[in-house]
Amino acid sequence: MNNILSEMKPSLVRYSEIISNITDSAVSIIDNEMIRVLYVGGDWRDDVGKNCAEVGHIAYSALKTGQSQIMLEAAGHPSCQKCTYS
């Protein structure tokens, strides 16, 4: 995480918490190498520092394809087939 996002982390945490509180949802920030830099508002904080492609995240699918991903339930969602948490 030796990049601009790591330098911005205090601000990212503050704004991510605000967004999470307003939207009542989790906020994840992923860098250009698919590494999750920050996660607030949810239960998967242990994924920070992991490569999204390796742990099977929907975020990886969205970033790879450039298409929006909507998940109403994780069970059965194509992006979660390889998820380490399924």
Q: What is the mean pLDDT of the chain?
A: 79
Question: Domain locations in the chain?
Answer: 4-80
Res 11: pLDDT: 94
pTM for the whole structure: 0.68
- Flag whether pLDDT at 22 surpasses 90: yes
- 5 pLDDT band (50/70/90 cuts)? confident
- Flag whether pLDDT at 43 surpasses 90: no
Dist. CA 43–CA 24, nearest whole Å: 13
Closest CA to 42 of 20, 66, 63, 59: 20
- 15 pLDDT band (50/70/90 cuts)? very high
